[in-house]
C-alpha cells in the first residue's frame, strides 16, 4: 500500500462522531448535512424513473437534458454558460477529484486556502502533489479573514493549481467580488488554474448581490480562463445522500473530462439525474425556503453562542456552520469528545480543517427543528458552568 | 490540462456507437450491458428506501448490513470472507480506480493482461504509472489463450501491480485454477499485488467448478495475500445503471480504503445499497435465470457466426461476448462503422481493447430477445454477401 495513502489523516470529525454514535442522548451537529429529507417531488422523480425501468448506463457527461437545465440555472445566476461547459458527476467531492486528476501531475505544486474541508487538501496528496497552504486569520470577534496580498504573493508561476472554497467550510468566510477579481488577475499572470468549490453559493445571507448568491468566480472570469467551479445538489436541494454534483469548466476541458468520468465512475445513475432535473426545475420553491430557514437557524444559534461566557463566534455570511472557540480549551479534538460524552452535543473539532483552527469547533446549524439548536446551546452552557465550578 | 489525460484514447466503442446513435434501424450490441431492466423487486427496494426518506450520507465503506450480506455471498462462493475485508463502491470501475489509487505511485510499473476493457489500462496512466501489457494469443479456432510462462516471466520484483480480468472482456478467455495458483505463487515471490477484475465470475458456462462460478483468485489465496478482487452488481443482477460495486481485500487495507472512498465519492447512495441487498438476498432466483439465458444467447449466436463464410469465433467459457474476426477485414474500427451504417449492426471494434485485437469485433450477446441475435447475424451475412459481389 502507498505510504501517501497510509499517511492521510483519518477524519477527526468521524473520530468524534464514532465516540457518540448510537447514543440516543447526543444532539449531532458534526456533519455538514441538514437533518431534513429531500423534498418529496424530487424523490418522486427518481421513483418514477425506477418504475419506468431507467436502469441502464448513460452518457459520461450526464443526461443532455440535465446539462441543458444546469446551463440555464447557472446562466441565470452568473451570465451565459452553455451546456458544453458542464459535466454531471457522482457528487461534489467526485467533481473535485476529477478536476484534480485533470490538472495535477505528481510533483506539481497545489496551493490551498485553509481552514477547509479536509477532502480538498487530501485529494492533491492522493495524486502525489506538493501541497502548500495559506491560512485565513481569525479576528477578535470570531470572523475569519483573508490576507489578500499574502495570497497573491503565494501564487507563483510554479503554482499549478489554487484550491479555494467560498463560502468556506468551516469558517463561513466568503470571498468578495473584488478579491476574486484580484485572484483571477494574478492567476492569469502565473498561468495557475483555479479550482473553486462553490457548493455553498446559494446559502448566502448578506443580501449584497443581485442574484442573492455568494460572489462566484464565474462572475469575474471569461469562458477560457483556467477556472473550474465545482457545484453539488447536496446543500441547496437537500440531496446529500444522492451523490450528485457537477462542474463548470472551459469548453475545451469537457471532452477530456468525459474520459476521466468513464474511468472513475462511468456515469451517474439516470434515476438520480431525473430527480436532480426536477430539483432544478423547482429551485424557486425549494431553495429560497431552505436558505430562509438556514438564516433563521444561524440567527438563532449565533447570538446564543455569543452570550456564553468565553465564546467567540461571528455570524457566517455564507454556508451552514457556526465556527467558534471557547476560552481555556486549546485542544479541539479533546473538547469535542468531552462535549459528546459529557454534554451530549456533537460538534466537529477545528483541527480537522487546519492546524490554525486548533481550538475551534464547527457547529452545523442545518437543523429542521430550530429548538434543537437552542437545546444544544443550553447543554453547552450547563457543561461550561460545571467546568468552572 | 495534463498531457497524460489529453493522450488517453477516446473510446473507440463510443466512436462506433456515435456513428449509429439515433438510427432506429440499428441493432446495438456494442456496449457491455444487457437490454433487460433490473428485476422488479430490486427496483422496489430502492423505491421503498426513497419513500422512507433515506436520502442522507452513509458509511464510507457501505452499509454494515450490506457488507455483512456480501461477506455471506462471497463466503458461499469462495470460502470464509468476513465483512472486514469488503468495501462497497460506486460501481466496479470505481472499485478498480480506488484499488489503483491505493497501490500505484507515479512511476510504478503496472503489468496488464490484454486485450482488456480499456478502463483497466487507462487508470494506471491517469495515476502516472508505467504500463506494460502482455497479450493473450488467438488460436486458429478463434479462442484466445494465455502464454503462462511468458506472463510469469513478465512479473518481476519491479512489477508493482498485475491487472488481470477473467472471465475476460472482450475475449471470453478465462483463467484456470492451476494458472491462478501459478500466478499467485509468482507474485508472492516478487511482492507484486494482483488486481483481479472478476465481475463476470457468475457468467460462466463450463460446468467444471463446484460453485458454478468461474475460478477466482479468492479460491487460491490467503487472507493476507496481496490481492484485491473487484466485483460489481452490474452483470449478475442486471444493475449496470445503478453504479454499485465492491471489492474484497486484505483486512489491513480496508480502513485506508475507506479514506479513499471519502475523498473520491464519500459513499454510495443508501437507496441504491438497499436495492443491492435485495438483489443479493434473491440471488438464487435472479442470477441462475440470467446465466441460463446468457448461455442460450451464446449458444444461439456462436454457431450462426461460425457458419458465416470467413468468420472465426469460439464459444466463450465466460462473460457475455462473442469475439470474432472476418477474413479480409483488417481494420476493425472501419469494419464496425461499415456494419453500423450499411448493415445496421452495432459491434465494438477489437482495436479498442488492444493493438493485438485489431481485426476483431466484440458482440455483446446479452439480449433479452434471442431473435435479435439471429436477426443481427442475418444482417451481417447479407452484408458480407454483398461485399463479395
Summarize pLDDT for A94-131 with one digit per residue, the tens: 999 999 999 999 999 999 999 999 999 999 999 999 99
Q: Residue A21: pLDDT band by 50, 70, 90 thresholds?
A: confident
Cross-chain residue pair B265–A104, CB shorter than 8 Å: no
Cross-chain residue pair B93–A33, CB shorter than 8 Å: no
Q: What are phi and psi of A35, to 5 degrees?
A: -95, 15
CB contact set of A74 (below 8 Å; sequence gap of 6+): A81, A86, A218, A231, A248
Per DSSP, helices labelled H in chain B are 3-6, 12-20, 40-51, 64-78, 92-103, 118-126, 148-154, 177-190, 251-264, 270-281, 283-306, 332-338, 370-388
A79, A85 Cβ separation under 8 angstroms: no
Residue A139 in this model has a pLDDT that exceeds 90: yes
Handedness of CA B203, B207, B208, B209 (dihedral sign): positive
Interface test with B, best of A91, A119, A237, A264 (most B CBs within 10 A): A264
At residue A364's C-alpha, the angle toward residues A359 and A370, to 5°, is 130
How many C-beta atoms lie closer than 10 Å to residue A170's C-beta?
A: 29
Residues of A in contact with B127 (CB under 8 A): 127
Q: Can you give the pLDDT at residue B389?
A: 54
Cross-chain residue pair B57–A31, CB shorter than 8 Å: yes
Q: Can you give the pLDDT at residue A15?
A: 86
Q: How many CA atoms lie within 13 A of A364 on its CB side?
A: 21
Given CB atoms, is B106 within the 8 Å cutoff of chain A? yes
B71, B83 Cβ separation under 8 angstroms: yes
Average pLDDT over residues A234-243: 96
Q: Can you give the pLDDT at residue A297?
A: 98
Give the burial class of B1: count Cβ atoms within 10 A of its Cβ; 0-12 exposed, 13-18 middle, 19 or more buried: middle
Backbone torsion region of residue A313, taken as left when φ is above 0, otherwise alpha when ψ lies between -120 and 50, otherwise beta: beta
Given CB atoms, is B269 within the 8 Å cutoff of chain A? yes
Residue A389 in this model has a pLDDT that exceeds 80: no
Q: Which residue in chain A has the smallest CA separation from B103? A: A1
Q: Can you give the pLDDT at residue B19?
A: 81
Task: Determine whether domain A3-38+285-388 maps to CATH 3.90.1150.10.
Answer: yes
Give tens-digit pLDDT for A34-87. 999 999 999 999 999 999 999 999 999 999 999 999 999 999 999 999 999 999
Domain with CATH 3.40.640.10 in chain B: 40-282
Average pLDDT over residues B167-187: 98
Helices (H), strands (E): how many in chain B?
A: 13, 15
Q: Can you give the pLDDT at residue B156?
A: 98
Q: Can you give the pLDDT at residue A199?
A: 98
Give me the CATH topology for the region A40-282. Answer: 3.40.640
Cross-chain residue pair A5–B260, CB shorter than 8 Å: yes
A266 closest CB neighbour out of B126, B243, B271: B243
Domain with CATH 3.90.1150.10 in chain A: 3-38+285-388
Average pLDDT over residues A269-296: 97
Closest CA to B233 of B287, B284, B196, B172: B287
Residue A142 in this model has a pLDDT that exceeds 70: yes
Give tens-digit pLDDT for B344-369. 999 999 999 999 999 999 999 999 99
Closest CA to A320 of A305, A292, A288, A298: A298
Given CB atoms, is A263 within the 8 Å cutoff of chain B? yes
Q: What is the pLDDT of chain B when averaged over all its residues?
A: 96
Q: Is B203 helix (H, G, I), strand (E, B) or coil?
A: coil
Q: Can you give the pLDDT at residue B183?
A: 98
Would you give the distance in Å from CA A142 to the centre of its chain? Answer: 20
Closest CA to B97 of B114, B117, B83: B117
Q: Residue A18: pLDDT band by 50, 70, 90 thresholds?
A: confident
Residue A22 in this model has a pLDDT that exceeds 80: no
How distant is the Cα of B139 from the closest Cα of chain A, in angstroms?
31
Using CA atoms, how far apart are residues B90 and A113, in angstroms rounded to an integer? 29
Cross-chain residue pair A105–B101, CB shorter than 8 Å: no
Residue B194 in this model has a pLDDT that exceeds 80: yes
Residues of B in contact with A255 (CB under 8 A): 10
How distant is the Cα of A364 from the closest Cα of chain B, in angstroms?
15
Report the percentage of chain B scoring pLDDT > 70. 99
Q: Is B335 helix (H, G, I), strand (E, B) or coil?
A: helix
Give tens-digit pLDDT for A114-124. 999 999 999 99
How distant is the Cα of A135 from the closest Cα of chain B, in angstroms?
21
Given CB atoms, is A102 within the 8 Å cutoff of chain B? yes
Closest CA to B170 of B307, B316, B26, B302: B316
Cross-chain residue pair A269–B242, CB shorter than 8 Å: yes
Q: Can you give the pLDDT at residue A254?
A: 98
Q: Can you give the pLDDT at residue B17?
A: 85
Closest CA to B248 of B70, B370, B108: B70
Q: Residue B135: pLDDT band by 50, 70, 90 thresholds?
A: very high
Q: Which residue in chain B has the smallest CA separation from A118? A: B263
Segment 56-95 of chain A within 8 Å of chain B by CB = 56-58, 90-91, 93-94
Given CB atoms, is B253 within the 8 Å cutoff of chain A? yes
Amino acid at each position: 500500500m502507498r505510504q501517501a495513502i497510509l499517511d492521510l489523516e483519518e477524519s477527526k470529525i468521524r473520530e468524534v462522531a464514532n465516540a457518540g454514535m448510537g447514543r440516543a442522548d447526543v444532539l449531532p451537529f458534526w456533519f455538514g448535512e441538514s437533518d431534513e429529507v429531500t423534498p418529496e417531488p424530487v424523490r418522486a422523480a427518481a421513483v418514477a424513473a425506477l418504475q419506468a425501468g431507467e436502469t441502464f448506463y448513460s452518457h459520461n457527461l450526464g443526461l443532455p437534458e440535465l446539462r441543458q437545465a444546469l446551463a440555464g440555472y447557472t446562466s441565470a445566476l452568473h451570465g451565459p454558460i452553455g451546456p458544453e461547459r458542464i459535466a454531471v458527476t457522482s457528487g461534489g467531492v467526485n467533481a473535485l477529484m476529477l478536476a484534480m486528476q485533470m490538472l495535477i501531475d505528481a510533483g506539481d505544486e497545489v496551493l490551498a486556502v485553509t481552514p477547509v474541508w479536509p477532502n480538498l487538501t487530501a485529494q492533491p496528496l492522493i495524486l502525489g502533489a506538493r501541497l502548500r497552504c495559506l491560512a485565513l486569520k481569525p479576528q477578535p470577534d470570531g470572523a475569519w479573514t483573508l490576507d489578500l496580498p499574502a495570497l497573491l504573493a503565494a501564487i507563483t508561476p510554479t503554482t499549478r493549481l489554487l484550491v479555494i472554497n467560498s463560502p468556506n467550510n468551516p469558517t463561513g468566510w466568503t470571498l468578495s467580488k473584488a478579491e476574486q477579481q484580484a485572484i483571477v488577475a494574478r492567476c492569469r499572470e502565473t498561468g495557475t488554474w483555479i479550482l473553486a468549490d462553490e457548493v455553498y453559493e446559494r446559502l448566502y445571507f448578506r443580501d449584497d448581490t443581485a442574484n442573492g448568491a455568494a460572489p462566484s468566480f464565474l462572475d469575474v472570469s471569461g469562458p477560457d480562463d483556467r477556472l473550474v467551479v465545482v457545484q453539488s445538489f447536496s446543500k441547496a436541494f437537500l440531496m446529500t445522500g444522492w451523490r450528485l454534483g457537477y462542474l463548470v469548466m472551459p469548453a475545451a476541458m469537457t471532452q477530456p473530462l468525459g474520459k476521466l468520468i468513464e474511468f472513475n465512475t462511468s456515469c451517474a445513475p439516470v434515476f438520480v439525474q431525473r430527480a436532480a432535473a426536477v430539483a432544478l426545475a423547482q429551485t424557486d420553491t425549494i431553495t429560497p425556503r431552505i436558505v430562509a430557514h438556514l438564516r433563521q437557524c444561524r440567527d438563532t444559534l449565533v447570538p446564543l453562542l455569543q452570550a456564553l461566557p468565553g465564546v467567540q463566534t461571528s455570524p457566517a455570511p455564507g454556508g451552514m456552520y457556526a465556527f467558534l472557540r471557547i476560552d481555556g480549551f486549546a485542544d479541539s479534538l479533546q473538547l469535542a469528545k468531552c462535549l459528546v460524552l459529557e454534554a451530549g452535543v456533537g460538534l466537529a473539532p477545528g483541527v480537522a480543517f487546519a492546524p490554525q483552527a486548533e481550538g475551534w469547533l464547527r457547529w452545523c446549524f442545518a437543523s429542521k427543528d430550530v429548538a434543537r439548536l437552542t437545546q444544544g446551546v443550553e447543554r453547552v452552557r450547563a457543561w461550561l458552568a460545571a467546568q468552572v465550578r
